[in-house]
Amino acid sequence: MKKVTVVGGGLAGSEAAWQLINRGHEVRLYEMRPKTMTPAHKTAHLAELVCSNSLRAANVENAVGLLKEEMRRLNSLIMMAAEESRVPAGGCLAVDRVAFSAYIEKKLFDSGKVELIREEISAVPEDDIVIIATGPLTAPSLAEELAKLAGRDDLYFYDAVAPIVSAESVNMDIAFFASRYDKGDADYINCPMTKEEYDAFYEAIVSAKLYEPHGFEKIKFFEGCMPMEEMAARGRETMCHGPLKPVGLIDPRSGKMPYAVVQLRKEDREGQLYNMVGFQTHLLRGEQERVFRMIPGLENAEFLRYGMIHRNTYIHSPKILDPTMETRERQGLFFAGQLTGVEGYVESSANGLLAGINAARCAEGRERVIFPPETAIGALAHYVSGGGSGKFDPMNITFGLMPPLKERVRKKKEKNAKIAARSLEILETIDVS
Ligand SMILES: Cc1cc2nc3c(=O)[nH]c(=O)nc-3n(C[C@H](O)[C@H](O)[C@H](O)COP(=O)(O)OP(=O)(O)OC[C@H]3O[C@@H](n4cnc5c(N)ncnc54)[C@H](O)[C@@H]3O)c2cc1C
């Protein structure tokens, strides 16, 4: 059995390491924290969730729900940890981030097969089998090397993250607990807005002062992570059709649906922290306080974390990767996680799982596994390795990445359920040993 080098102890790297040790291999895992921190990580823990504590929709009629189910069936460590550290969040799978990382570390270290080296890697190691999983905040020294390898175009762009407020600072005389359409438990805090309040908020957000990035890093926002002010700038009503949509929510005080609603989602088991759903932003901190306190119920909000702007590094995968996540040029060199151009916690973990399986195959001198695009994990792999068309942008999993059904099904939910059933059936037939 060989020792495989994994660079980056984030979601993808931890999942890849788990897949390797479960197939009998040893792992040398390089993680630069805490010696060198990224602009978003706060701890030295493996698989730290840097922003939201949600792993998104739980049901398989939703593409990310299907991806999670596939991961469960593929013995995913990230999914085991999520189940163990789950906190209530309606139809979403949300976790206690401390318990989540602790579970992952225990499983990896208890195996006795993982050697953790706290070191920043600044060049692709020359070892026989290497997985690079250094994520969207890859250290600049290594990013520079990767730029040469993968092509300088498209190496950088920005994402934006949402603020967290303390639960006790929310005015519950105005805000109310509910989940949309009363699905599951009433886990969200909802801040209702009248038309007048919404209009005033809109005017404030479109004229607020923004953080200005500098240098050569050109801003390219990913559609699924659009900053609130960017969304507002698209039109007066755009926020109302996006994160501030009121449908399925009735204000118990008026008995009516508000004009707009800001939702806050629980961040921790104790319910002390709440994340402003969809409020990723690059407003200056003082402006966040001024503008977001205009939201009814948040007039005295205590900001425990501000929304922020951050770098997202990814390689131009279609040029260099196979759907196995191995590079075409150098056998034994794999990439995994957000660095490959998948977007999101679940997608990054799933991609790490795939790279882990194939690095194990490589160590055993066996043929690599290619998951077909009918599976969610395969659809993502095919997308990043060139299955898509046109410009290469990071991507969340969606049913749109998977081939359509042969038969025509009108109802969306029914159609998605059939796509999910097809995927899980195919998954059973794939040899992942
Ligand atoms: C600020 C921010 C907020 C995000 N919020 C969300 C969110 O709310 N929901 C969501 O689904 N996705 C979110 N994402 C996107 C993405 O899903 C996560 O970043 C996810 O953690 C990616 O997993 P990963 O394993 O690819 O990278 P990471 O989890 O970032 O892991 C990479 C690891 O590599 C280490 N590393 C980097 N460079 C080196 C080096 N040279 N040598 C050694 N170690 C190195 C890092 O310290 C890190 O531990 C966010 C991303 C960012 C940057």
Q: What is the pLDDT of residues 80-95, one digit of tens each?
A: 999 999 999 888 999 9
With 90 as the cut, is the pLDDT of residue 307 above it?
no
Residue 161 pairs with which residues in a beta bridge? Answer: 308
Burial class from Cβ neighbours inside 10 Å (0-12, 13-18, 19+) for residue 425 reads exposed
221-225, 251-255, 318-322: which is most confident: 251-255
Residue 117 pairs with which residues in a beta bridge? Answer: 30
Percentage of the residues of the chain whose pLDDT score is greater than 90 = 71
Which class is 3-155+314-428 in CATH? alpha beta
Nearest atom, ligand 1, residue 142 CA? 41
Residues of the chain with CATH 3.50.50.60: 3-155+314-428
Query: Ligand 1 pocket check: which of 134, 225, 314 to mutate, most ligand atoms within 8 Å of Cβ?
Result: 134
Nearest atom, ligand 1, residue 338 CA? 26
pLDDT at 147: 83
pLDDT, one tens digit per residue, over 361-391 is 999 999 999 999 999 999 999 999 986 555 6
DSSP calls for 218-232: -----GGG--HHHHH
Residue 270 Cα to ligand 1 midpoint, Å, equals 25
Burial class from Cβ neighbours inside 10 Å (0-12, 13-18, 19+) for residue 422 reads middle
With 80 as the cut, is the pLDDT of residue 222 above it?
no
φ, ψ dihedrals at 283, nearest 5°: -70, 150
Residues of the chain with CATH 2.40.30.260: 160-311
Residue 400 Cα to ligand 1 midpoint, Å, equals 25
Which band of pLDDT confidence, cut at 50, 70 and 90, is reported for residue 215? very low
pLDDT at 224: 62
Residue 158 pairs with which residues in a beta bridge? Answer: 311
With 80 as the cut, is the pLDDT of residue 311 above it?
no
pLDDT at 208: 97
What's the mean pLDDT in 343-364? 97
With 90 as the cut, is the pLDDT of residue 263 above it?
yes
Percentage of the residues of the chain whose pLDDT score is greater than 70 = 92
Region of poorest pLDDT, from 158-162, 232-236, 409-413: 158-162
- Pick the residue whose CA is nearest to atom 29 on ligand 1: 10
What span, in angstroms and rounded, lies between the C-alpha atoms of 310 and 328? 30
Computed over every residue of the chain, the mean pLDDT equals 91
Residue 61 Cα to ligand 1 midpoint, Å, equals 27
Ligand 1 pocket (Cβ < 6 Å) reads 7-13, 30-33, 38, 40-41, 50-52, 120-121, 133-139, 142, 159, 161, 310, 312, 337-339, 344-345, 348
Nearest atom, ligand 1, residue 311 CA? 53
pLDDT, one tens digit per residue, over 126-183 is 999 999 999 999 998 998 888 888 666 556 556 567 898 989 899 999 999 999 998 8
Residue 124 Cα to ligand 1 midpoint, Å, equals 18
Which residues 6+ apart lie within 8 Å of 371 measured at CB? 323, 354, 377, 378, 381, 427, 430
Query: Ligand 1 pocket check: which of 116, 311, 346, 348 to mutate, most ligand atoms within 8 Å of Cβ?
Result: 348
State the greatest distance between any 2 C-alpha atoms of the chain, in Å, as a whole number: 67
- Pick the residue whose CA is nearest to atom 30 on ligand 1: 135
Residue 382 Cα to ligand 1 midpoint, Å, equals 21
Residue 50 Cα to ligand 1 midpoint, Å, equals 7
pLDDT at 217: 42
Cis ω for the linkage preceding 404 (within 30 of 0):
no
Which residues 6+ apart lie within 8 Å of 156 measured at CB? 143, 217, 218, 311, 312, 313
Closest CA to 160 of 314, 292, 284, 279: 279
Residue 339 Cα to ligand 1 midpoint, Å, equals 9
Compute the radius of gyration of the chain from its Cα atoms.
22
Query: Ligand 1 pocket check: which of 5, 6, 11 to mutate, most ligand atoms within 8 Å of Cβ?
Result: 11
Q: Which residue has the higher pLDDT, 410 or 348?
A: 348
Residue 410 Cα to ligand 1 midpoint, Å, equals 38
Q: Residue-wise over 345-356: b if at least 16 C-beta within 10 A, else e?
A: bbbbbbbbbbbb
Residue 51 Cα to ligand 1 midpoint, Å, equals 10
Region of poorest pLDDT, from 94-108, 123-137, 228-242, 269-283: 269-283
Residue 131 Cα to ligand 1 midpoint, Å, equals 15
Which fold would CATH assign to domain 160-311?
Elongation Factor Tu (Ef-tu); domain 3 (2.40.30)
What's the mean pLDDT in 189-207? 98
Q: In what order do the strands lie in the sheet with 303-305?
A: 176-178, 188-193, 260-266, 273-276, 164-166, 303-305
Q: Which residue has the higher pLDDT, 187 or 174?
A: 174
pLDDT at 271: 78
pLDDT at 266: 87
Residues 136 and 338 sit within 8 Å (Cβ to Cβ): yes
DSSP three-state, residue 266: strand
Residues 94 and 1 sit within 8 Å (Cβ to Cβ): no
- Pick the residue whose CA is nearest to atom 35 on ligand 1: 8
What's the mean pLDDT in 385-408? 79
Q: In what order do the strands lie in the sheet with 86-87?
A: 54-57, 92-95, 86-87
pLDDT at 206: 97
